[in-house]
Chains A and B, each alone.
Chain A
């Protein structure tokens, strides 16, 4: 780990101001991601700004929005009874991520800023267009079992690792920074020819909260993560679903996929396939099929196409009350 200077900020304004003094500055919350990035030579900030004393904590349940402070810890949000009760997809996604120790330390804001687990990105000795623009993407012709089947480009086929971000996409959340609001569907950038640009954040911009429309709390929701191990592993495929039901008919649906694209992938075609319908086996099958529309699997990850079809149908059926 390269040496760095360190400052503790007690307000978002102070954090942003002090970070502005060094273009390489990084914000530090839980540390569970940044420390590994620095240790592995994937990040080398000259200044680390500890934001843990910034008042951006806790969860508030308003009439319009549920606001989660960026410094709320994953475990704290997952355990909150009103979250478990009203936003099961959020609680389930958080508990499916990392391990208990990491969930106790990792913040909501930091979770959204996780970098990809692509093994070529994580190995500083390898070329990687995300890490070193123009150096190439060994994943495209290499070991790509974990990689994207949707949203990738000729420059990059990474997948975004956050479970939380997938749940927040299904909940139509907004990321709140110190000076603006960004819908989660516009927060993450597809790689295109600039895979090093991963989010809409400007340098030095600080996430202070995540807001979820309170209406979503009346919807039925759920999350399923399919992975190589039963616990403490990233998703091969995950599915987050939020359904507004009128009896057995779907009034509105939001469906998001994890583990398959460089950003949480909103499956609009699958949403269209269920809207206004009852969740019959045919409709479930159609939704699964629609979710993989345009999929471009690589040599080692074609299995994800079928996994998405089945997992989408399964989660829709479970959340929709079929079983």
Chain B
């Protein structure tokens, strides 16, 4: 059990967590804790459950209640605070991450749902000290002011390009409409994405 869990566990929760871990070792990665064929699904929680998250290529185990969002698990449990909590309702996009290469809002998904998935946060986008081309473009185009929405903007833009290259600035605007910028750096954000997508001005 982790340090912060000391003295805060009931026997039932500890048992639930260890049973879950045992179950997790018997199934292939990708399925978190589905029951074996024919067995009834196992019920875990509401106390903390051990969850293994694959973040930026590393498997990180942590204890979370089932109600903990992926966003909160990343920030509070794994100390990956590059993913930002803006509205916590899926409206602002600041918490955008890639899950199995697809952009999603990490405040609208539970950590426990994403066991076995490949999660990419802003911390994992660069290749060592070499920035991702989208990060470079945001710097070159000065595509931010306060920077709070930027990790989400960049991951959303990376996800957008994986979905198919936008053909126009209008398509970029539409594709990026799930990411708000209260500083309104939108023209420069569109410029940055257009650079990487090779959309002419």
Contact = CB atoms under 8 A, between A and B. Distances in A.
Interface in B112-165: 112-113, 156, 159-160, 163
Contacts of A10: 31, 34-35, 37, 41
Given A31-B113, A231-B173, A39 B178 contact: no
Nearest to B115: A8
Interface string B66-94: 11010000000000000000001110010
Contacts of B37: 10
A105 interface: yes
A101 B89 contact: no
Contacts of B31: 8, 10, 53
A5 interface: yes
Contacts of B40: 14, 17-18
B50 interface: no
A101 B103 contact: yes
Interface string A28-64: 1011100110110000000111101100000000000
* Majority SS at the chain B contact face: loop
A59 to B, nearest CB: 18
Interface string A78-115: 01000000000000000000111110110000000000
A93 to B, nearest CB: 15
Contact of A3 (B35, B65, B176, B179): B65
Contact of B113 (A9, A28, A101, A102): A28
B67 A4 contact: yes
A296 interface: no
A232 B178 contact: yes
Given A6-B66, A14-B40, A100 B163 contact: yes
Which residue, A7, A28, A49, has most C-beta atoms of chain B within 10 A?
A7
A231 B174 contact: yes
Nearest to A47: B43
A153 to B, nearest CB: 29
Interface in A217-236: 230-232
Interface string A230-254: 1110000000000000000000000
Given A8-B31, A8-B41, A31-B109, A104 B177 contact: no
A201 interface: no
15 contacts: A2-B67, A6-B112, A8-B31, A10-B37, A28-B110, A30-B109, A35-B108, A39-B88, A49-B41, A50-B110, A98-B178, A99-B178, A101-B90, A101-B159, A231-B174
B67 A3 contact: yes
Nearest to A76: B102
Given A8-B33, A35-B90, 6 more contacts: A6-B112, A8-B41, A10-B34, A18-B43, A28-B113, A104-B159
Given A3-B65, A231-B177, A232-B177, A39 B45 contact: no
A102 B109 CA distance: 10
A200 interface: no
Contacts of A49: 41
A32 B90 contact: yes
Contact of A36 (B43, B90, B113, B156): B90
Contacts of B43: 5-7, 18, 21, 47
Main secondary structure on A side of the interface with B: mixed
B17 to A, nearest CB: 12
Contacts of B90: 32, 35-36, 101-102
Contact of B156 (A48, A101, A231): A101
B197 interface: no
Contacts of A4: 45-46, 66-67
A1 interface: yes
Given A31-B110, A32-B108, A100 B175 contact: yes
A35 B104 contact: no
A77 to B, nearest CB: 14
Given A8-B32, A100-B103, A100-B178, A36 B108 contact: yes
Nearest to B97: A101
B115 to A, nearest CB: 9
A217 B114 CA distance: 36
Interface in B26-71: 31-35, 37, 40-47, 49, 65-67, 69
Contact of B66 (A48, A53, A98): A48
Contacts of B105: 32, 101-102, 105
B157 to A, nearest CB: 11
A105 B109 contact: yes
Nearest to B100: A104
B45 A102 contact: no
Contacts of A231: 173-174, 177
